[in-house]
Structure 1
Amino acid sequence: MTAAPQQGAATSPPSQPSPSIPPEPPRDGPAAEPEEQTQEARAAQRELVAHAPDFILGAASSFGGSLVGGAQHGVSGGSVGRDVIMGGKTEIHHHGTATGPSHFSGEIPRRELDDLAATYAESPAFEDALRRLRDERVLVVAGAHATGRRAAALMLLHRLGVAAVRVLQPETGPSVLAGQLTQPGGHVLSDMPLSRNKPLREAHVYAAREQLIGVDGYLVITVENSPHLLGVTPCRWETPCSESVLRAHLVALGRTPEDIEKLLALGPVQSFLDHGRQRPAETAGFAPQLAAYDGSEQALGRLADFGLATVEKQCRTWLSEPALTLRDKAFLISLAVFDQAPYVLAAELADQLFVHFQRLQHPDDPPQIPMFGPAMDDRLQLARATGEWRDEHTEWGRVPQYMACFAEGRTPKALLTEVWTGHPSARPALVSWLKQLARDGRPLVRTRAAAATALLAASDLASTMALLVDGWAVSRSFGPRVTAANTLTLAELCGAPVVVHLLSQWCTDAHWARRWTAIRAFALLAPLRPDLAGPALDALMARARADDSSEAERHNLIESTALLLSAGSRGEMLSELVRLLYMDTPAVRSLALAAFVRACDNTEEGGLVEWYYAESGVHSEDWSQDLATLWRTALGERAHTRQALDALRTWVYVAEQRPEAEHALHRLLPSLSRTATDHDRLSHLLQTLRPRDGGPRPEIADRLLTALRPASPHHDGPYAEPSPAYPRS
């Protein structure tokens, strides 16, 4: 674990609104205040990709994340939630009168110790702990829950060679500890109850040591990481290496060293060992499954499935564990939403969720958040999470942040799904919290709220739409609507059903805000799912044919359609736009031209400019002909001429910096100069080209003028002849 993080989380500020897009007038219900300026679609796309979690946009986007069978949900192996105890377990119950002794001890059967010794793998701290126990006779082992502390205590005493090991009752407090050590041999006190009013003091340890010297005994006490050890130096316990634990169990199950090496090399086994901080009990539960592997695909699938089953069981245990505080559960849920984000952000927003939980559970009491709580290291250890310093990209540059993430990458999906489907009584608090996050001024927070809601939609679409998404989608404010669009985009990537059908319906919905949400969602979705570019274009054109859009909706349609040119087969998209020019309504024709010009005025990496220059001379002449047709038509139509000239000027500026781009323009310009009007328009553009930095006229303008061929004496129309349609395959 690295050093503690800074106290503030630097996240990207909200993207600036586009000043060219007017607000949507209220079209449903009573008049309302004008809403804030909306965000340009390409900026929204950048924000979504920058802040969406890796488990949705990354390589491990399938829920299962396994190497076999994709998303697998069956449980083919079990696991236990506490320390490893191999062999039979004997529980000793003593019954006495109320006036009898309040604490007892019982001897652990020798066979149980021998069975545990046969499968035990020592951690790096074991030898040092053994030395201290031999010298000091009393050893306090402190560590997180389910890290094998009890098994370690038993094995420490077993390695000492004591004649017997006795278990003290967990209720044995520090003040009565020495009085219970009346037998020779070893003693174990698991999970000693400590608190601020009942700490373990140095005097208690000295008294126990004196008693043990007198009877020739030893004592190991296990505790959670606790601040209530006063003057006592505990042995900080480390979980044994999962591979070592697995090897030890495979040996005990009769597998040979050669077999063990082959089994450990299997893909699902490596995935199980690499995915996170496996508890010894979980690794012990995996060993029989691995030992039974027979080389079949079914057995390989069961091995891959075991890891997910372990993750899901851990999430169920976290949420249903009565001993885990409500604040701890709120932190686990918040970390699932803000996995691989700044730790302080997850901690800050976890307390807000804690407030919602308190209001739900105790509606008559004002919610209270303790000002100081568990240490960061303890919280991450509870969550089986790790932290490290990494640079976060912001609009101001790189900012170092202490990022926290679950060691097991499948935990966020499993935990959020379990909260939503397994604990419906928590839904009101979770819904209120997600709505609060959607109103946050930080893009990272808003995007993660959408990502979490998308996961909920994948598991229960109807409830998620009713409780969250539809309310955002019909909001008069821009922020909730873009959260709804982000949610539906990510929900489709998560495998939620009927999302594309829903968006297609919303594109022609009677409510303008639903239409806006669907149009924006298609723009965000198509570049991430290129196979949906065709259906997205069909849905957007269906809305354009209505020809009753407001100015704000028209801007949204233009920007969204422009983004489709960066998705799928761009050659097919260009041919489809050409077909729309000559085989559809005037409203669709105008939208196709406006979207094409908007896409051409994009100089970002992956934009149409980059694509054209990179692919120039590689594709067939079909896409070059379609591109030239769209350029000539846009330049020749009065409604689009000015924007088209601005876009072409952008191309020239790019070509000034890139020789290959200039070569591509030399090839393009002759096809744009088929009439005297074309020639005059392009000549004027190049002759009046102004430099960007106020310097002399760019030399490239004169070089490109030579590429303009004389106008044809046989044709002087406003634009070139219609090109044949190229249907989308």
Structure 2
Amino acid sequence: MNAPQDHPAVPDGQDPHPERPETAPHSPDGTGETATASEELSSAETETEHAWDSRRDLYRHSPGIMLGHSARIGGSLVGGDQHGVSGGHVTGDVILGGSKVEYHLGGDDEERSGEIPAAEIEALARNFAYPPAAPDDDTRPDGTAPADGRDPGQPDTPYGPGGPDDAEEPWEPGSPFALALAGLREHRVAILSGPATTGRRAAALMLLRAAGSRTYRSLDPALPPGRLAAELREGCGHLVADFATSPERPLREHHIRALSERLHATGSHLVLVVGPHPVVHGGPGHVPWQPPEPAALLAGHLRNKDLAGRSVDELLALTEVRAVLAHHRPVADTARFAERVAGYARGTVSLAELGAFGHYAAERQVREWFDSADHTLHDKAFLIALATFDEAPYPLTAELSDVLFGLLQRIENPGEPARIPVFGTSSAQRVEQALADRYQEPEETEWGPVLQTKVQFRDRLTAITLLREVWTGHPSARPALVAWLRRLADDPRPVVRTRAAATAAVMAEADLPSAMALLIRSWAADQRLRSRLAAANALALAHHLGAPHVSRILAEWCTAPDHRLRWTAVRSYALVGDAFPREALAALTEAVRGMETRGGPSRGWTEELDDLAQSAAVLLLAAGQEAAADDGWDTAADLWGALPTLARGTTRDFVLRAMVHASGPTDGPAGTGRPLLLDLFARADPKPGTDGAVLRHALAALWRSVLNDPMCTASGKNTLRQWVRGAESDRGAETALAELLPLLAVSVEDHRRLAHLLENLRGEGDPAPPAVALRLRALVSAPYADARTCADSPSR
């Protein structure tokens, strides 16, 4: 950024506003302020970041679903063998702790299996959708694929292309289904791994059917691996769903071989369904199950339903259907959604009900979690933390979930200290239990991007739904949540503070009075700038989520007697004012006029005026960026065009400061890149009569006012110097300056000022101005050659 963080840029450290007192920014001025100078100085923070930096951090650290700035759906999943025991297939001998010996005394008369009706399997087969092959499975080393999708060096298999039943088999060679079926036919036993919500049980039953089974039995998943063989029956397809493996209970090679031997002898088959990170020692290994895309799953469920003459493709093309399918959700939810889509086709379900299914499914899942006795308080604290830190680094989520757990524990069991398992459930299991995914993505820091392992709910609606549910559906948790969020808002890490504000915004959208009373207003009235920024962020995000009356709250606070509420409202306008720009600019202007009614210039007056100017600058830049992106310049032209008329009377200083503040932010990190204000000028249409031309002339008029104002001219000239230096490596910026500078040289005095600036522009150790300055100097001089000759003539 070209300008300092809290005041306009000036050369040699000179203050363009010499009346600015070097005291606490909000000292008493006889206007009824409640804070004292000692209060402000006792705070660890006496300065705050520039309003543009606040806006940048808000967009950088907020969940993507709130502001729409993040299109990432997961990145590259972190899984497989990258994370040792928690990451996937484990080979070799792993011994943790002492050995465990099981004694079985007496007989076991408990029934450990039950029949699965064949009719249920056939009904399932009618709707089952087979996943496609992995993209690289059928690719040769040279990058080409054989004509039949199979490596010619491999022999034909009974289930692949060229086999006797190939025409009847709907699965693709190389797909997870085909790979698992190959193992099942060869060894009579297959291990299918995957998350619980991916339809893995249905896939296991389809494997048994494809292998030739006609009778089916479900075995007790609590059976030890060594006891499974004793439960197998002749000529039957066996399923063990949700079979748990762990370092203490691994599935070893001798278990698998014993099962294979028994299954061959009885003419049977067995599919073991395990989690996504099984502990398997040796043997044929496991096949990871990945379901088809949601659209293929939905099509499979619709193809045998009464659709009243509507085609499946027509229904899949509906906007509401595409919106629901855009979020990854459990396969069972897709089956439920198929019933709604079929109902819509028959006219019994409205389009609005169809589009609301995603929210219904997310609410159903969240309530299951909170009502489940299988989820401990520690698990539920992790879910709440994950909802707060969706798309954030996993270690951060885990760390702060333990803090929340301690606070919840004091409510549920006040007499017992919180016992946090240091080495309890693995991160992979916790993430899977939350129906989330891990992925790697760079995280922006003040030192540059750092690769982090992040976590995100598979269903993008889960996070907000969960936070709403815990706030409105479980009021007993509110004291812990409020204490937790207050602690997060005071954290030194920007992402933590921003997520605290984002969570408060969700709560404000769900229950505005409670969220304002318990969180946001107390932050806004805090003497610490960090807390007030949390309130501003919360109000901005709450407005984006659709919370009512945010603009009214800001308008009231902007002229409130308490300077802390005024600061919060002013900073909020910088963050969210582009959503209602005309109203926001009018409120800021009215706040400037209200400053004089409180007594005029005094201690703290300059700082407050600078805060107002910063917010106006950010508001105007944001409106300009939106205009450039959407190619609709009318709003930006109206806003910038109104400023020259305000640059007189009581609001003149405010407008000129706003112009100087707007000249600082750039389109790159840490002050690098092209200045946004110059880029706005360059992108506006110069054709006379257009909104772009109006905006350009307004910017030029404001620049002339800045350069001709005794208090701001030093800041304006310093900014122009930086712009010219930046144009050395940016031809687009040079072109924009070549069009702007002649508009600034209206009078002979204007010309002399700009010419002197360009002629004397020097870098450290440079004997002459840079070439770009001399080229711009020639452009500025041309219109005034005759005027300069007249000024120097003797008759003059």
Amino acid at match of 2:652: R
| 3-state SS in 1 of match to 2:416 | coil
Q: Pick the aligned partner of 2:614 from 542, 559, 579.
A: 559
Q: Measured at CA, do residues 438 and 210 of structure 1 come closer, stay the same or move farther in structure 2, by a change above 3 Å? A: same
- From 423, 429, 435, the counterpart of 2:486: 435
Partner deviation per Cα, 1:524-550 (whole Å, 9 max, x = no partner): 222465454444434543543433653
How far has the Cα of 1:706 moved from its partner?
5.0
- Who is 1:522 aligned against? 573
Instruction: Provide the residue aligned with 1:38 in structure 2.
Output: 48
User: Does the aligned pair in 2 maintain the 1:108–1:167 contact within 8 Å?
Assistant: yes
The residue aligned with 2:60 is 50
Please state if 1:704 is matched with 2:780.
yes
Q: 2:370 aligns with which of 319, 326, 333?
A: 319
Cα deviation 1:620-658 (Å, max 9, x = unaligned): 576566555544544444433433444455555567765
> In structure 2, what residue type is equivalent to 1:598?
H
Q: Structure 1 residue 501: deviation in Å?
A: 0.8
Work out which of the residue numbers 20, 28, 31 in structure 1 matches 2:34: 28
| Closer/same/farther in 2, CA of residues 696 and 213 from structure 1, 3 Å limit | closer
Alpha-carbon deviations, 1:237-284, whole Å to 9, x = none?
A: 5143144443333233256999333333444444443421x4332222
Letter in 1 for 2:656: L
- Work out whether residues 601 and 648 of structure 1, in 8 Å CA contact, stay in contact via their aligned partners in 2: no
Corresponding residue for 1:599?
A: 662
Q: Is the 8 A contact 2:570 2:611 kept in 1?
A: yes
Which amino acid is 2:681 matched to?
Answer: Y
CA contact (8 A) 2:666 2:676 kept: yes
Task: Give 2:639's aligned amino acid.
Answer: M
- Which of 481, 491, 515 lines up with 2:532 in the alignment? 481
Shift of 1:522: 0.8
Q: Aligned with 1:294: secondary structure? A: helix
SS at 1:639 equivalent: coil
Classify 1:217/1:544 alpha carbon distance in 2 versus 1 (closer, same or farther; 3 Å). Answer: same
* 1: CA distance, partners of 2:244 / 2:440: 35
Q: Which residue of 2 aligns with 1:667?
A: 742
Partner residue, 2:392: 341
Using the alignment, how far apart are the partners of 1:183 and 1:354 within structure 2? 51
Task: Describe how 1:135-214 pairs up with structure 2 within 5 A.
Answer: 136-137=187-188, 139-162=190-213, 164-169=215-220, 172=223, 177=228, 180-181=231-232, 185-192=236-243
CA contact (8 A) 2:588 2:612 kept: no
Alignment of 1:532-611 (within 5 A): 532-546=583-597, 547=600, 549-568=604-623, 569-582=635-648, 584=649, 586=650, 588-600=651-663, 605=674, 607-611=676-680
Measure the CA separation in 2 of the matches of 1:297 and 1:672.
74
Q: Is the 8 A contact 1:35 1:478 kept in 2?
A: no
One-letter code aligned to 1:593? L
Change (3 A) 1:573 1:264: closer
Count, aligned residues: 656
Percent identical across equivalent pairs? 37
Query: In structure 2, which of residues 496, 500, 513 is the aligned counterpart of residue 445 of structure 1?
Result: 496
Residue 285 of structure 1 deviates from its aligned partner by 1.5
Specify the alignment match of 1:640 in structure 2. 712
Deviation of 1:516 after TM superposition, in Å, equals: 0.9
- 1:458 paired to 2:509: yes
What is the rounded CA distance, in whole Å, between the counterparts of 1:520 and 1:28 in structure 2?
20
Map 1:337-416; keep pairs closer than 5 Å: 337-416=388-467
3-state DSSP class of the match of 1:400? strand
Note if contact 1:458-1:495 (Cα within 8 Å) is conserved in structure 2. Answer: yes
550, 560, 569: which is aligned to 1:509? Answer: 560
Q: Please, which runs of 5 or more residues in structure 1 have no aligned partner?
A: 1-14, 62-98, 714-729
CA distance in 2, matches of 1:148, 1:362: 38
Question: Which amino acid in the other structure matches residue 619 of structure 2?
Answer: L
**Counterpart code for 1:247:** A
- Equivalents in 1 of 2:741, 2:182: separation in Å? 81
* 3-state secondary structure, aligned to 2:711: helix
Q: CA deviation at 1:162?
A: 4.6
Contact 1:188–1:219 (CA<8 Å) still a contact in 2?
A: yes
Which residue number corresponds to residue 144 of structure 2?
Answer: none
Out of 493, 511, 536, the residue aligned to residue 544 of structure 2 is: 493
Structure 2 Cα separation of the partners of residues 195 and 624 of structure 1:
68
**Do the aligned partners of 1:263 and 1:290 also contact (CA within 8 Å) in 2?**
yes
CA distance in 1, matches of 2:271, 2:702: 81
- State how far apart, in whole Å, the 1-side matches of 2:695 and 2:198 are: 62
Equivalent position amino acid for 1:696 in 2: A
Comparing 500-509 with 52-61, which one deviates more in the overlay? 52-61
Pairing 1:114–2:122 present: yes
Offset of 1:616 from its aligned partner?
7.3
Deviates more, 1:138-147 or 1:213-222: 213-222
Quickly say closer, same or farther: Cα 1:203–1:359, change in 2 above 3 A. farther
Find the partner of 2:686 among 609, 617, 638.
617
Counterpart for residue 313 of structure 2: 261
Q: Which residue pairs with 1:716 in the alignment?
A: none
Contact 1:336 1:411 in 2 (8 A): yes
The answer on whether the counterparts of 1:631 and 1:644 sit within 8 Å (CA) in structure 2 is yes
Give yes or no for the alignment of 1:248 onto 2:300.
Answer: yes
SS in structure 1 opposite 2:300?
helix
Structure-1 separation of matches of 2:759 and 2:593: 41
CA distance in 2, matches of 1:685, 1:216: 93
| Distance 1:441-1:215 versus aligned 2 partners, 3 A rule | same
TM-superposition CA deviations, 1:149-179 (whole Å, max 9, x none): 4334444444455564334455555576555
CA offset at residue 39 of structure 1? 1.1
TM-score normalised per structure 2 = 0.71
Q: Is the 8 A contact 2:533 2:568 kept in 1?
A: yes
Summarize the Cα distance change of 1:308–1:692 in structure 2 as closer, same or farther, 3 Å threshold.
Answer: farther
The verdict on how the C-alpha distance between 1:403 and 1:150 changes in structure 2, with shifts beyond 3 A counting, is closer
- 8 Å CA contact 2:301–2:335 kept in 1: the answer is yes
Quick one: distance in 2 between partners of 1:641 and 1:561? 20
Q: Is the 8 A contact 2:540 2:576 kept in 1?
A: yes
Cα distance change of structure 1 residues 542 and 496 upon mapping to structure 2, 3 Å threshold: farther
CA contact (8 A) 1:566 1:606 kept: no
- Give 1:23 deviation, angstroms: 4.7
**What secondary structure does 2:25 align onto?**
coil
Cα RMSD for the two superposed structures: 4.2
Equivalent residue, structure 2, for 1:101: 109
Long gaps (5+) in structure 2: 8-12, 16-21, 28-32, 72-106, 132-174, 624-634, 668-673, 791-796
Report the alpha carbon displacement of residue 684 of structure 1 after superposing the two structures with TM.
5.6
Question: How far, CA to CA, are the matches of 2:209 and 2:706 in structure 1?
Answer: 86
Match of 2:327 in 1: 275
Q: Which shifted more, 137-146 or 505-514?
A: 137-146
Aligned pair in 2 of structure 1 residues 234, 300: CA closer, same or farther (>3 Å)? Answer: farther
